[in-house]
Structure 1
């Protein structure tokens, strides 16, 4: 039985293969991407419970990919990794929306992955407000966001500016989210 789907984005093949082998030994499903281009193609067709991404890669670096994804409303949880982490990189990654920042080489990866997935509710099977925690994270998050925005729109007479302020979003981002969730703004 698969207990979690993980994407590892790292151009250091030996590093990603080692993590993959360790995680697959205990029933995680692991997909590898060697660069940002591969990762973008993969996430278009698959959802993951956790994405572990290297900062320094050939082509587009991990930090700019994280920023690109977060600006587009990306909902899968991302953990950044680097062997040369500077304090400002850690702070930037967390501010952009990364769950954590790990220093490579990674030791004791299993407890870390379990911790990240338990934070995401992967190990829970109960339902809260109609959300099935056995769903992929993106699906559960979309259900929650739809309920959240419908509630605030109804409470505020469909005032987009007010709901954007409550949600801490720019209006254009809110419009995009509402469209993506199939919510009528009227």
Structure 2
């Protein structure tokens, strides 16, 4: 996948973005200020940077302007802020930022912005994901694939058992299937099944689904 640098002075934001992007298979590095961001950019040459606007030492727009002036803006930069004005967002875009994400950042908006950012800078070393690009529409957004039809022998259910047990059996098989299809990625399973990650974790624990087994099978 890609090397992504997350620059934000809030520990909670850094941890959240790290978890989501790492779960998607990206290599993620974090920095809490502009000084660390400069060093990380020099050392790791990220494929994409998520840059907070309001930081205590040097703000994100100033750092963006610095990189642009030095000819170092050779990677997509996505600005983030919970308090920025429209003028600030426009200025950042004029300098060279590719997109702007308003906090709180939803998982769907984050992944879509990262996907579009990386699409503008092809990664020669990134392995192709089988079947993924064929599901991308003209705007670069992935569309829902056609449902997979399973053979009748794939799973069987005892219809004589009480409804609650039957429902649990079906849900367990349902989630185990999607975990296997998504290589154990909780982020993608949550997105596909329409559940929040916290709810999904609770549901899997309640059903007794073995996450490590799902990843091994995948």
User: Quick check: TM above 0.5?
Assistant: yes
Higher alpha-carbon Rg: 2
Residue of structure 2 equivalent to 1:13: 11
Tell me how far apart the structure 2 counterparts of residues 85 and 21 of structure 1 sit (CA, whole Å): 25
Residue of structure 2 equivalent to 1:117: 118
Shift of 1:46: 1.2
Q: Does 1:134 align with 2:125?
A: yes
Render the CA deviation track for 1:84-111: whole Å, top value 9, x for unaligned: 1201001100110011111011102222
Tell me how far apart the structure 2 counterparts of residues 120 and 15 of structure 1 sit (CA, whole Å): 25
Assess if the C-alpha contact under 8 Å between 2:6 and 2:14 holds in 1.
yes
Tell me how far apart the structure 1 counterparts of residues 93 and 116 of structure 2 sit (CA, whole Å): 17
Tell me how far apart the structure 1 counterparts of residues 23 and 82 of structure 2 sit (CA, whole Å): 24
Tell me how far apart the structure 2 counterparts of residues 7 and 72 of structure 1 sit (CA, whole Å): 19
TM-score if structure 2 supplies the norm length? 0.54
TM-score if structure 1 supplies the norm length? 0.64
Structure 2 portions without partners, runs of 5+: 127-218
Shift of 1:134: 2.9
1:70-149 residue pairs with structure 2 within 5 A? 70-74=68-72, 75-107=74-106, 108=108, 109-122=110-123, 133-134=124-125
How many residues align? The count is: 123
Tell me how far apart the structure 2 counterparts of residues 19 and 43 of structure 1 sit (CA, whole Å): 18
1:56 partner SS: coil
Aligned-pair RMSD on alpha carbons?
1.2
1:150-161 residue pairs with structure 2 within 5 A? none
Residue of structure 2 equivalent to 1:65: 63
More strand per residue: 1
